[in-house]
Structure 1
């Protein structure tokens, strides 16, 4: 038997003996005065009155801030002592928790990012000074307010209504619409959420400057490159008909190939710059995707490189998209060109266009060399190459998948890549159901 149990039994045994002694005294007094029942009832009443007094003192002590307990007799003294110890432990625990909260608030207050703690109803529980500056929040007026009522933006309201971790959201700053805020909502605890806000205005401006520089530089390079290509083509014709210049035929041909490749890179850079700059401003319309894919596949079959491959097509008739024809054509043509370029001769390429419950999908599968999983997250970066040692002439510009990524973003789509080294690759574009038109079975 444990020591606390033995102590409790000893205390209550002593209390029982005290009650018996008190009743015995009351009984003896009643025998002496000849009123046994009256004396016993008086003794019980006095005992109950003492218990009520101690219970009243205990109640007053529990609701007061006083540390030291009142004095008691018998079991009440033990109850006071145990409650005093419990109250001491709670005060120490409360002090420790208060210190942790102060440290948390001090650390988050020093962060450059805004932090807002929201309850299960989206009400503000706490926010740091950075959040007040970024989101135009006021303390203490906005405490307990629903943040959706303070930050009135359609995309933010939709983002806030999602119960799970829904990624990141870029939106105009509530303070200055010219600035951009990056939001991240993190669920934690008992249906609480932590909203992180970061000012990415400078980053956006740098990206805009970089895009302008690339576009301007590419545009300026195109004119002198056109002149060089013209002279190189004229020199190729001269060397082809002259035996005296036969030794210059190979280097001039190589210079012509490199100039044409540089021209393709410049055209791709300009295309990427246009896609990034246009954003959602370009006019949208109904696009007959099956007809577009059929035309692109026929072009590939007629081309010299495409004639070496077996290209099969599976298209869902009548399934169109609402979007931008030029951008969708860039998506499909880049993926088809990559499949032709990196699939060995006599390889197989399968093109598919279909719909499911989530929306519409376009995929290009091949049985080429495949891609190692370590490269997949970076394939859509500009100029990223799986094999850095590969000859430049054997590959593309390194910008095709970057163009695909940006065009899909404009259509609320996403690119999924599934590849196994030695077996082949499948590039799948997924479009949301709200962009699908005239869906019907083939």
Structure 2
């Protein structure tokens, strides 16, 4: 027997005892009158609280549970415990739902949920960005009324979702590429997943271009070599002609060797995830080597000035720094006509080491500057080959600088020369006692 029935039994037992007592003192009629009045009072009390409970259940407000004596107090107490338990369960479900939504919002992929009529039930912020949607404004809108890309409309209506769809010309500037795939679930509902693969497409395009460029760069000297070999084999040549042909063949072989060497250096830089050393570099020796190499390469045809702070140094790998800074100086000499001037500066600005090379050469069109560090990218292909460059120098510079927490800035004007500036991070900048040769 539970506590409610026990209380009812006790109440009726007390009423019976009271009635018997009154009957023994005042007679049977008085006892019956007392019992009747008590039952009527109990009935009214129960009716009042029944109506009160009905109103509470009809419009429940959490936490507002009335109090009452006796059995009704127990009923209200049990109801309060039940409501509290249900409220805790609802809160738990709401928290799980909130965490689920947060997880989807944090996803790098776009997620859109469609009902059985392809109307938008919900989408995350990435899907809004990918498709130009507004999660609140476009709720219950048919998705093809908003995403009108013909390929997407055909894909959605085809009901063949085994393969993903590639959508080009997306985003505000119509330059993004999306991969989209639909996954049916539930009762004719659909989950639309999207991913921005613009960068992946660009990287793949660069890879294809790289393979094509390598093939082209190596094919040209090989063709020349083959031609000379065929000429030497089939035609009688004098010693002078033979020597000239051998020199030209050596030049082409050297060109291929330089390309392969630069490719190996670039592959090593790209594949080395180990951070460079934190040991200071002997920049005095580095700058002296750059000056000697520049003087030899120019052969007195340029006016070269070095403005150096020999007490300034950086931390890292000496061979990599020599390669990067040497490439910039070599390029300045190659692309500056005879009689031009080249200035090399090594100074400290705002706490950071700065290396700058300024020339009075041909200059670079503004549209070409952002692509200078791409592998095999050439502003003027014919002029670049005349200088003997491999087209990989600035790509090597970029990767060396990235490894050494440095950035490359390029300022140029066609016909008036260029300035290539390397800014090292403050944490890689140091000073030491100047050492003189």
Structure 2 length normalisation: TM-score? 0.47
> TM-score by structure 1 length?
0.46
Bigger radius of gyration = 2
